[in-house]
């Protein structure tokens, strides 16, 4: 027997090795990949008997893999193996096209049992064949619909409705039956949702120059013509009816939709009433009457009537109903003999009529048919008057509810806002108060480190000191964030020299760059002014330079530039490190976010520095963004509102049309020995070892 091939897509390397080992011992050939894109590529290119896919994967998650496989009509069985075990997660995974779902942690015997069950299914053989109706092809396995070779996107309910009609060509479905089949017959769903779903299907499937694939008929329809998906009986037939009387000042849309919803329920109640009325007259046929001339086999009024006929449709009595309801109906009576109880709507002299034809059996044979009819106009008029009265009440109730909601929400938000304020105050107070014990712990550790008994003791104490430093940094950052959130951190909005702040920040990190073997370059124009807080801007630049130096290897460059762009000043810090994974670019400013292993070659930070930097930038009316450079590395751009520099008196004579462009600063290059040289007209100041 040929060995079954299994592809395992799992980013946890150790877990993948263990599962592959167990599968190998069970006689399977298991291949493993550690990211989503590689898994999708191999699944599309190679024949596998089973895919085991994790949900959370680098590059492409498991659900996206399954969706793309099903879109490409790859029918290989898929087992989702993930820690996401909520009901909504399981539903999403299975609806995406997975055949099975197993949550972590799992038992190996259960995993192997599921693998055996899935690999027993013949590869590439769908459970149900493609259903065809004319040029429409419906694939139940992949939930795909095509018309004339073109894919048609349908919702889940639209697909279920189309599949139900296509599986029973020529059969007529009432709205009540479709409601029970597709929507489960819940009382919260009105029958007009069937009309809406059918309408959406027609728009997606039909073409203007061709007949519709789905027909809506009154009463029971004749068999469908070739290429027609199915017929839907309109029950009740309401689109010709209208509310009688004065329309009133209320919106016609509200009345129309409200009336349709009520009519749907009223029609169901009318059908049930007619059936009960017909059953109550069984005794007339089965012995309640003497069968003589005095027996009554018909009766009624202009709005309600009944009649008894034989199996052939001929009335039992020549006495008419005295009404204008058109009973008896021999055609419906003969149909009831063949099919059982029949409910139908037909047009009478006085308007639409609803009639039930109930066969009466004796000794297993149909001996008579009882027909009961009632006018639709009565229900429509009653419902119209009811909606006309309820519509203004509904509008008034909505207005009162909105006013009450505003009042209640205002009262409810106050304690929530107070709670948030207290939470911010607690974070600030706790961060401040914890600094004292952290300081004491660090002092004690450093005192003990002066004379450790063993090398292990020194290593332990050094680690303790390092952790206290990290905790102190976290508390400091938390304190800044708490003050920012509460609006208690002073941030100025005044004119300041951005060029000078940039030069000062670069000079501050000069020594560190030289010690780490990183070249620090700055291209700074003269006289670049911004509106904001110079001190807070220095904090932002310090965080960016610290981040850049941490992720730039020795021998590489960190570049600092500034420019004026469309009324805003931009200061950019670019490193030459590994860059940021595209999927994580949107998260680098999240609080407590820590870069992945590719960017953590050195000592990691607290995960709050960049978050604080962006909040400080926005507090000044600016912003902080991040992107990957074309070559390599990450680039952070700080933008602030620009301010025109002061014009010297000598320049005033040039006239109002003169332009004032920031001039580049003199170039200063410093090598590892501390020597300085001026570049020939350039504008680059280098700090650190020369290349």
Tens-digit pLDDT profile for residues 124-134: 444 456 788 77
- Cα 688 from Cα 691, distance rounded (Å): 9
Query: Residue 666's pLDDT is what?
Result: 40
Q: What is the pLDDT of residue 142?
A: 67
Q: Concatenated DSSP letters for 513-567?
A: HHHTT-EEEEE-BTT-EEEE-HHHHHHHHHHHHHHHHHTSPTT-EEEEEEEEETT
Residue with tokens 């096209």: 97
Better-scored residue on pLDDT, 532 or 199: 532
Question: How large is the average pLDDT for residues 548-571?
Answer: 90
Distance CA 315, CA 592 (A): 86
45: pLDDT strictly greater than 90: no
**Binning pLDDT at 50, 70 and 90, where does residue 135 land?**
confident
Determine the average pLDDT of the residues in 45-58: 88
Q: Give the pLDDT confidence of 593-608 residue by residue, as tens digits.
A: 765 544 444 455 667 7
Is omega for the bond preceding 105 within 30 degrees of 0, making it cis? Answer: yes
> Out of 202-216, 392-406, 631-645, which region has the weakest mean confidence (pLDDT)?
202-216
478 against 419, higher pLDDT: 478
More confident residue, 96 or 418: 96
Q: List C-alpha distances in Å: 650 to 252, 533, 653, 668.
A: 74, 29, 6, 28
Selection from 63-72, 199-208, 264-273, 572-581 with the highest mean pLDDT: 63-72
- What is the mean pLDDT of the segment spanning 528-540? 90
Q: What is the pLDDT of residue 281?
A: 79
Domains of the chain, start order: 5-120 (3.40.50.2300), 131-233 (1.10.10.10), 494-687 (3.30.565.10)
Q: Cα separation of 289 and 295, whole Å?
A: 6
Q: What is the pLDDT, as a whole number, of residue 64?
A: 92
Q: Is the pLDDT of residue 437 over 50?
A: yes
pLDDT above 80: residue 506? yes
Pick the residue with more confidence: 96 or 684?
A: 96
CB 371 within 8 Å of CB 231: no
Q: Which helix (H) or strand (E) is 356 found in, with range?
A: strand 351-362
CA distance 166 to 209: 22
Asked if the model's pLDDT at residue 577 lies above 70, the reply is: yes
Q: Which residue has the higher pLDDT, 500 or 267?
A: 500
Specify the DSSP element, H or E, that contains 52: strand 50-53
Residue 349 confidence (pLDDT): 63
Q: For 332-387, how does the pLDDT look when each residue is reduced to its tens digit (9 = 90+)?
A: 888 888 888 888 887 766 667 888 898 988 888 888 898 888 877 666 666 666 66
Asked if residues 138 and 130 have their Cβ atoms less than 8 Å apart, the reply is: yes
pLDDT at 253 over 50: no
Lowest-confidence region among 176-185, 490-499, 502-511: 176-185
The percentage of the chain sitting over the pLDDT mark of 70, rounded to a whole number, equals 66
Residue pair 201/214 in contact by the 8 Å Cβ criterion:
yes
Using the predicted structure, report yes or no on whether residue 56 has a pLDDT greater than 70: yes
Mean pLDDT over 415-420 rounds to 68
Which residue has tokens 């400013």?
589
Instruction: Tell me which of 361-365, 457-461, 588-592, 647-651 is least confident.
Output: 647-651
pTM for the complete prediction?
A: 0.36
User: Residue 114: helix, strand or coil by DSSP?
Assistant: helix
For the cut 70, the answer to whether the pLDDT of residue 123 exceeds it is: no
CB 200 within 8 A of CB 142: no
Average pLDDT score over residue span 65-71: 92
| Predicted local distance difference test score (pLDDT) of residue 144 | 81
Which phi-psi region, left, alpha or beta, contains residue 196 (left: φ > 0; alpha: ψ -120 to 50)?
alpha
Query: From the CB of residue 274, how many other CB atoms can be counted at a distance below 10 Å?
Result: 22
Q: 217 or 249: whose pLDDT is higher? A: 217
pLDDT score for 502? 92
User: DSSP E strands: which ranges in 110-192?
Assistant: 131-133, 136-139, 144-147, 150-152, 172-174
d(CA 264, CA 398): 24
CB-CB neighbours of 548 under 10 Å: 26
Query: Can you tell me the mean pLDDT for 422-431?
Result: 60
Termini Cα distance of the chain: 64
Query: What is the C-alpha separation between 336 and 344, in angstroms, rounded?
Result: 11
| Percent of the chain predicted with pLDDT > 90 | 14
Q: Torsion angle of alpha carbons 79, 80, 83, 84, nearest 10°? A: -140
In degrees and rounded to multiples of 5, residue 352 shows phi and psi of -65, 140
Mean pLDDT of the chain: 73
3 state SS of 434: coil
Q: What's the confidence (pLDDT) of residue 247?
A: 39
Q: CA distances (Å), 489 to each of 224, 420, 483, 485, 689, in order?
A: 75, 17, 5, 9, 39
pLDDT(149) > 90: no
- Top mean pLDDT of 363-372, 430-439, 582-591 is at 363-372
Output phi, psi for 521, to 5 deg: -110, 140
Distance CA 578, CA 432 (A): 36
Overall size of the chain counted in residues: 691
E strand or H helix at 271, and its extent? helix 252-280
Residues 572, 637: Cα–Cα separation, whole Å: 4
Task: Say which range, 16-25, 179-188, 372-381, 477-486, has the weakest mean pLDDT.
Answer: 179-188
DSSP state of 149: T
More confident residue, 274 or 659: 274
């Amino acid at each position: 027997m040929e060995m079954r091939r299994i592809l395992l897509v799992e980013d946890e390397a150790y877990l993948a090795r263990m599962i592959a080992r167990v599968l190998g011992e069970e006689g399977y050939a298991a291949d493993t990949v550690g990211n989503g894109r590689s898994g999708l590529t191999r699944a599309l290119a190679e024949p596998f008997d089973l895919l085991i896919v994790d949900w959370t994967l680098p590059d492409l998650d498991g659900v996206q893999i399954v969706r793309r496989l099903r879109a490409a009509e790859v029918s290989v069985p898929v087992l989702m193996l993930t820690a996401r075990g909520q009901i909504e997660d399981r539903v999403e995974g299975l609806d995406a096209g997975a055949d099975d779902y197993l949550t972590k942690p799992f038992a190996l015997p259960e995993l192997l049992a599921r693998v055996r069950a899935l690999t027993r299914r013949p590869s590439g053989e769908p459970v149900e064949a493609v259903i065809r109706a004319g040029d429409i092809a419906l694939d139940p396995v992949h939930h795909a619909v095509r018309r004339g070779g073109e894919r048609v996107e349908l919702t889940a309910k639209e697909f279920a409705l189309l599949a139900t009609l296509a599986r029973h060509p020529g059969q007529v479905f009432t709205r009540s039956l479709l409601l029970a089949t597709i929507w489960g017959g819940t009382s919260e769903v009105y029958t007009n949702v069937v009309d809406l779903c059918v309408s959406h299907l027609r728009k997606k499937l039909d073409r203007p120059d061709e007949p519709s694939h789905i027909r809506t008929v009154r009463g029971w329809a004749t068999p469908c013509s070739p290429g027609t998906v199915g017929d839907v009986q309109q029950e009740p037939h309401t689109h010709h009816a209208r509310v009688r009387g004065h329309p009133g000042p209320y919106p016609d849309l509200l009345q129309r939709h409200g009336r349709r919803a009520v009519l749907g329920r009223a029609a169901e109640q009318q059908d049930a009433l007619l059936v009960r009325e017909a059953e109550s007259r069984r005794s007339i046929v089965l012995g309640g009457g003497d069968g003589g001339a005095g027996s009554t086999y018909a009766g009624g009024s202009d709005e309600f009537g009944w009649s008894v006929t034989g199996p052939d449709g001929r009335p039992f009595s020549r006495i008419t109903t005295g009404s204008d309801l058109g009973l008896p109906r021999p055609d419906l009576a003969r149909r009831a003999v063949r099919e059982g109880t029949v409910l139908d709507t037909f047009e009478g002299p006085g308007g639409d009529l609803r009639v039930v034809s109930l066969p009466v059996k004796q000794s297993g044979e149909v001996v008579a048919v009882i027909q009961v009819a009632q006018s639709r106009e009565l229900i429509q008029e009653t419902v119209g008057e009811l909606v006309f009265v309820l519509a203004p009440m509904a509008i008034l109730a909505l207005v009162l509810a909105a006013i009450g909601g505003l009042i209640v929400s205002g009262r409810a938000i106050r304690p929530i806002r107070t709670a948030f304020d207290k939470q911010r105050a607690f974070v600030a107070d706790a961060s401040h108060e914890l600094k004292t014990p952290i300081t004491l712990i660090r002092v004690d550790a450093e005192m003990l480190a002066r004379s450790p008994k063993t090398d292990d003791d020194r290593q332990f104490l050094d680690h303790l000191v390092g952790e206290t430093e990290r905790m102190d940094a976290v508390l400091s950052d938390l304190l800044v964030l708490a003050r920012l959130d509460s609006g208690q951190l002073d941030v100025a909005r005044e004119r300041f020299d951005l060029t000078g702040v940039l030069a000062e920040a670069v000079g501050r990190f000069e020594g560190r760059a030289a010690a780490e073997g990183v070249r620090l370059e700055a291209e700074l124009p003269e006289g670049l002014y911004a509106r904001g807080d110079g001190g807070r801007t220095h904090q932002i630049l310090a965080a960016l330079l610290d981040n850049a130096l941490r992720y730039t290897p020795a021998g590489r460059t960190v570049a600092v530039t500034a420019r004026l762009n469309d009324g805003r000043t931009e200061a950019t810090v670019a490193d030459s490190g590994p860059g940021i994974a595209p999927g994580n670019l949107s998260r680098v400013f999240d609080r407590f976010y820590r870069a992945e292993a590719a960017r953590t070659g050195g000592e990691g930070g607290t995960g709050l520095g960049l978050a604080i930097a962006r909040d400080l930038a926005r507090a000044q009316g600016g912003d902080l963004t991040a992107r990957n450079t074309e070559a390599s590395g990450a680039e952070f751009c700080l933008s602030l509102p620009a301010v025109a520099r002061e014009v010297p008196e000598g320049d005033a004579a040039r006239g109002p049309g003169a332009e004032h462009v920031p001039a580049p600063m003199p170039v200063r290059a410093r090598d590892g020995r501390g020597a300085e040289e001026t570049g020939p007209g350039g504008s680059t100041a280098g700090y650190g070892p020369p290349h």
